[in-house]
Amino acid sequence: MKKVLALVMVLILTVLCFAGCSGKKEDATDQSVNTKKLVILDEPLTTEPYGFAAKKGNDALIQAVNKELTAMLADGTIKSIFEKYNAPYTAPDAAQAAGQTAATDDSLQKVLDAGKLVIATSPDFPPFENLEDDGSIVGIEIDILNLICEKLGVILEIQQMDFDSILPGLTAGKYDLGVSGFTATEERKQNSLFTDPYCLAAISIVVPEGSAVKTKADLAGKAISCQSGTTAENYCMANGLDYKSFAANNDAQMALTTGKVEAWAIDDLTAAEMVAEYNKGA
């Protein structure tokens, strides 16, 4: 009798095992993930100049940086740095350079006395700032500032943080410069100083290949991703566009590739680099 019961139990367990195995397994490919290549539209949202930011009142430091930027623009150094990163270069409008009287504050002297220039950056902005596998931060703006530090006789110290934390940190005096492709908007000027621009950039529109969005006029009624605290976010807000902002550009890109949004607004050179990298695996 025990043998019969054991045989029955074996048969029951076998049936249950097959029943369990016949169920539908959850497949990651069932998720709404875009497998198409990404495309950068020919028409940008807008164009804007890039510079560096500092705490309001730190005029002497800004003027010292402006002096070096002017020299580097004149002798082609900045253009050559862009070429090093295979990035097209557009010079800023010379009329955007600010004429200032000699500053008397101690912001530059503090940097010289400390022997270092402390900058804050969000290194998810290639080719301007990018975080390497070894933890180092490299890019166009880092190269520019390393050369400026050589001229000033100090070393460069880099602090990493989210983009939208940089300007509040400057206001609190936590570091000397904010460095992540800053544009001197009127809103930002209320609490921060800015250097003269060193290049002209644009905000690009990125969409999946085959998208119905062909121009910026097609963005009406479409969900757009962007990085929080950027001029891309400001543009979307000012123009009444439906947007979702993210702390990092990687997350804004993922929102597009997973179908949460229909377009992604991002600075042109960074768009070119990130889209090229993504398309390798698409």
pTM above 0.75, yes or no: yes
The residue out of 199, 227, 259 marking a domain boundary is: 199
Lowest mean pLDDT among 14-23, 37-46, 159-168, 181-190: 14-23
- pLDDT, mean of residues 102-121: 95
Task: Give the pLDDT of residue 3.
Answer: 39
Domain assignment of residue 7, yes or no = no
Q: Are residues 132 and 175 in the same domain?
A: yes
More confidently predicted of 181 and 4: 181
The residue out of 148, 166, 199 marking a domain boundary is: 199
Domain assignment of residue 231, yes or no = yes
- Mean pLDDT, rounded, of the chain: 88
| Domains identified in the chain, total number | 2
Task: Give the pLDDT of residue 273.
Answer: 94
Tens digit of each residue's pLDDT (9 = 90 or more) over 12-24: 444 344 333 333 2
Domain assignment of residue 259, yes or no = yes
Domain that holds residue 242: 38-44+202-281
Q: Are residues 186 and 222 in the same domain?
A: no
- pLDDT, mean of residues 185-214: 95
Q: Are residues 70 and 192 in the same domain?
A: yes
The residue out of 199, 234, 267 marking a domain boundary is: 199
The CATH number given to whatever domain includes residue 101 is: 3.40.190.10
Q: Are residues 63 and 76 in the same domain?
A: yes
Confidence class for position 101, pLDDT limits 50, 70, 90: low
Domain assignment of residue 227, yes or no = yes
Q: Using an 8 Å Cβ cutoff, are 197 and 50 in contact?
A: yes
Classify residue 12 by burial, with Cβ atoms within 10 Å: 0-12, 13-18, 19+.
exposed
How many Cβ atoms from other residues are within 10 Å of residue 277's Cβ? 12
